Amino acid sequence: MSAASHSPIRKVAVIGAGTIGASWAAHFLAHGLDVVVSDPAPGAKEHTQQLIDGAWPVLKSLGTVKGDPKGWRFEPDPAKAVEGVDFVQENAPERYEVKQKLLGVIGELLPPEVVIASSSSGLLVTRFSQGCRFPERCVIGHPFNPPHLIPLVEVVGGEKASRAAIDTAMAFYAAIGKRPIEIRKEVTGHVANRLQAALWREAIYLVEQGVASVSDIDAAVTEGPGLRWALMGPHMTFNLGGGQGGLAHFMEHLLPAVESWWADLGTPNMTAELQQTLVDGVKAEADGRSMTELAQWRDKLLTDIITLRAASAEASAAAAADRRLDEALEETFPGSDAPSVTRQTPAEDIEGDPAKRG
């Protein structure tokens, strides 16, 4: 791939239809794409449809539904599934040998401009794309679970992916409502998983040391910084924490204390006893709610947050457009009163022709 493909992506193959693959399929369908799903497991077709049906109400509430939840095709053979597709989202088991074999098969059948994006949560694309015909078209396209709801997609090119493949993947994900980020250096676990792994390590260590219970440590996140993290990342959070002086002021005054906390962070010894303590702790925290009930509760609140953020972004964009208009008017009519400009819909557009009203 020497240049980014300008052909629209209309047909997508989803290879591997577990929880992640089926969620991807639902998201692609909701955005009006032609979707073919492939998975060799017995009952995969029925399982995929069940997961798509479960995701559909959430997608409808987000206002993104353009397709039909049953308007997809199932093909158990991945070689046949990729025939004529414009993009491949691969979701095979998280093992190098499995992905290498799969990419070797489908890579032989696809034109070089078709990007193969892997949902791998932590493997290195440079390694598992070995043996794939045109490895420069292979990238990581790692979603956050569930893909039909969470906007983030981590795009990693590794050592072999072309600039065109990375740009194509970034543009495609953005076009279907995702928030892709490009990871410039290949690292195990990418970015988001490394961040949450670091937090979980310390959360487990605090349980191991008897500092607090499993549920109280979870509450320390969900009732505190977790609420801010839905709006701002750690850098911007501490930038705001520095007041008018921003991050520079924050580091000047609080970095020594933070560095002392870093030095005291621990690594737990994951004994069988500690693992059982964690299992018992989350079971108590769930308070009898099933996995289905927990997922539905999570997805409902996530949908509310995403909807609210979208509305805020639209309002900010409208306000910015108003400011630009005011600035343009001031430049056009300097030193005088600008002409009256209304941004409201004319009355006749709302109520009909005034001459015909009684």
pLDDT digits (tens, 9 = 90+) for 32-56: 999 999 999 999 999 999 999 999 9
Same domain, 73 and 221: no
- The answer to whether the beta carbons of residues 169 and 115 sit under 8 Å apart is yes
The answer to whether the Cα torsion of 234, 236, 239, 243 is positive or negative is negative
Whole-number pLDDT of residue 341: 56
Question: Which of 270, 288, 306 represents a domain boundary (last residue)?
Answer: 288
Whole-number pLDDT of residue 268: 98
Same domain, 30 and 143: yes
Mean pLDDT of 266-295: 97
Residue 309 lies in a domain: no
Domain hosting 127: range is 11-183
Torsion angles phi and psi, residue 234, rounded to 5: -60, -40
Residue 175 CA: distances (Å) to CA of 64, 138, 180:
12, 19, 10
pLDDT tens column, 167-199: 999 999 999 999 999 999 999 999 999 999 999
Question: Which of 143, 165, 183 represents a domain boundary (last residue)?
Answer: 183
Same domain, 72 and 210: no
Residue 20 lies in a domain: yes
Same domain, 248 and 199: yes
Determine whether 203 is exposed, middle or buried from the number of CB atoms within 10 Å of its CB (0-12, 13-18, 19+): buried
Same domain, 102 and 165: yes
What would you report as the CA-atom Rg of the chain, rounded to the nearest whole angstrom? 25
Same domain, 100 and 122: yes
Provide the pLDDT confidence category of residue 343 given band limits of 50, 70 and 90.
Answer: low
Average model confidence (pLDDT) across the chain: 91
Same domain, 69 and 131: yes
What total number of domains does the chain contain?
Answer: 2
Same domain, 152 and 171: yes
pTM flag (> 0.75): yes
Per cent of the chain over pLDDT 70 is: 92
Provide the pLDDT confidence category of residue 274 given band limits of 50, 70 and 90.
Answer: very high
Mean pLDDT of 198-227: 98
Mean pLDDT of 306-324: 87
For the cut 70, the answer to whether the pLDDT of residue 342 exceeds it is no
Q: How many CA atoms lie within 13 A of 76 on its CB side?
A: 7
Same domain, 161 and 75: yes
